[in-house]
Amino acid sequence: MSEKVLLGAIAGAFGVKGDVRLKSFCADPEAIADYAPLETADGNTFAQIVLTGRTKNALTARIDGITTKEEADALKGVELFAPRDRLPPADDDEYYYSDLVGLSVFDTGGELIGEVRSVQNHGASDLIEIQLPGTSATVLVPFTKAVVPTVDLEAGRLVADPPDGLL
């Protein structure tokens, strides 16, 4: 899955005719339909996604081959991926979350802080989860220009200046 980018996930059934609630992770949530066909982690492909509306915190959609509520319910939690080469290049100072995972994190003095485990967004802003070296412990750091002034994808590293007391 390393050449694929996670674009969304099915959040369950919507209605009784096979429509689903669809969580989109795209900057423009409705753009997820433009990247079809989308694939699941286990290799299933959905050739067509037709957006039908919005519901709280999700889109509603019809996915080809899904015609019953039971089929839609069975897909709850299924993640949807697109090949990286089908996505537009990121603008300056914008990054695909998948590009950040695995980067080494250094403080402004050059000391290793850890490695990016994930990037999360719970509504207010992006957070990077950093796994501290030699431990399974992680810490969440705001992914802002003030806290993470440098991202160097080519070198596989970023520089962070976490708030005092965070580490």
Q: What's the Rg (C-alpha) of the chain?
A: 18
126 vs 1, 22, 115, 120, CA distance in Å? 23, 20, 16, 6
Q: Reduced to 3 states, what is the DSSP secondary structure of residue 34?
A: helix
pLDDT value at position 1?
41
Domains of the chain: 4-86 (2.40.30.60), 97-160 (2.30.30.240)
pLDDT value at position 2?
52
- Are residues 132 and 117 in contact, defined by beta-carbon separation less than 8 angstroms? no
- Are residues 121 and 103 in contact, defined by beta-carbon separation less than 8 angstroms? no
The mean pLDDT values, 10 residues at a time, for the chain of 167 residues are 82 94 91 94 92 93 94 95 88 84 94 93 84 93 92 93 83
pLDDT value at position 96?
83
pLDDT value at position 44?
92
pLDDT value at position 32?
95
Ordered alpha helix ranges (H), the chain:
69-74, 97-100
| N-term to C-term CA, the chain | 32
Model pTM greater than 0.75?
no
pLDDT value at position 71?
95
